[in-house]
Amino acid sequence: MPRAHLIRQGDSEIVFIDFARAKSAELTQAIADATPLIRTRPEGTVLTLTDATEIGISKLTNAQIVEFVKGNKPYVKAAAVFGVSGLAAAILSTVRLLTGRELAAFTSREAALEWLQRHR
């Protein structure tokens, strides 16, 4: 199953990116799956929901995430991340700083989806 796909929430289409428990190769695959879903849409229209539960972080994966998030900036209207804790929370702060992106963090998928609905 792809690590990124479209989901529907109400009348919104959201790109769901599954980084949960992903190690380097799986993270690379998730980015490859998500990139065309995001970057073929009109600029400023995409909503993204990312599951970062127990994500495996290394220098390589951190760099991949930063480049991915930077490249998505023109397309994404709102981005929500859930499952962020421990080291992943520190990485998220770094990604925000390095990309200039606003990435809203939540403890649950439901809270993240609710926030995205308000920012569509």
Residue 16: which CATH number?
A: 3.30.750.24
pLDDT by 10s per residue, the chain, length 120: 799 999 998 889 999 999 999 988 999 999 999 999 999 999 999 999 999 998 877 776 788 999 999 999 999 999 999 998 877 787 888 889 999 999 999 999 999 999 999 998
Structural domains of the chain, count:
1
How far is the first Cα of the chain from the last one, in angstroms, to the nearest whole number?
Answer: 27
Tokens representing 5? Answer: 């796909």
pLDDT of residue 106: 94
Q: Which domain holds residue 9?
A: 4-118
- CB contact burial 72-92 (16+ within 10 A = b; e otherwise): beebbebbbbbbbeeebeebb
pLDDT of residue 56: 77
